[in-house]
Structure 1
Amino acid sequence: MPFINVKQLSGRSDEQNAEIARALTETYARITGVDPQNIWVAVEEVPATHWTAGGETFAARRAKAAAEGS
């Protein structure tokens, strides 16, 4: 049973997350021939304060970009 785990920054709507899960399921099923009922998808949202790149949170990056006007 395939399990697809998507981690993304929080902020997308429930409808967007559902469409992500549907599209991934359909694509995986089409490519592999696996029954869509046997494909599991988890969409996990991570707060920008808990996700970092280069030692800086995305919340800090957003704040910096807003202060710089970009």
Structure 2
Amino acid sequence: MPFIEINQLTGRDAETKAAIIDEVTAAYSRVTGIAPEKVWVKISETDPGDWGIGGKPLGGPTAK
């Protein structure tokens, strides 16, 4: 079974996450021919203060 993990910042509602899972599953299934029920999708969310780009945190007191 393919396992797809999506890492994103917190803040999206349950409806949006459900749509992401649905669309990613459909796209993977369409391209690979694997049945949608065999595709696993996991969304992992991270607080902006725990994620950085270019040495700078995306959230918190030092974020721009």
- Report the TM-score when normalising by structure 1: 0.84
Deviation of residue 49 (structure 1)?
A: 0.7
Q: Which structure: greater helix fraction?
A: 1
Aligned length: 62
Secondary structure of the residue aligned to 1:49 is helix
Identity, % of aligned pairs? 39
CA distance in 1, matches of 2:11, 2:56: 19
Task: Give deviations 1:27-67, integer Å, cap 9, x for gaps.
Answer: 00011100101000001110001000111110143xx3xxx
Task: Give structure 2 stretches of 5+ with no counterpart.
Answer: none
Root-mean-square deviation over aligned CA pairs: 0.9
What residue number does 2:24 align with? 24
Task: Give structure 1 stretches of 5+ with no counterpart.
Answer: 65-70
- Report the TM-score when normalising by structure 2: 0.91
- Is 1:41 the counterpart of 2:32? The answer is no
CA distance in 2, matches of 1:11, 1:41: 18
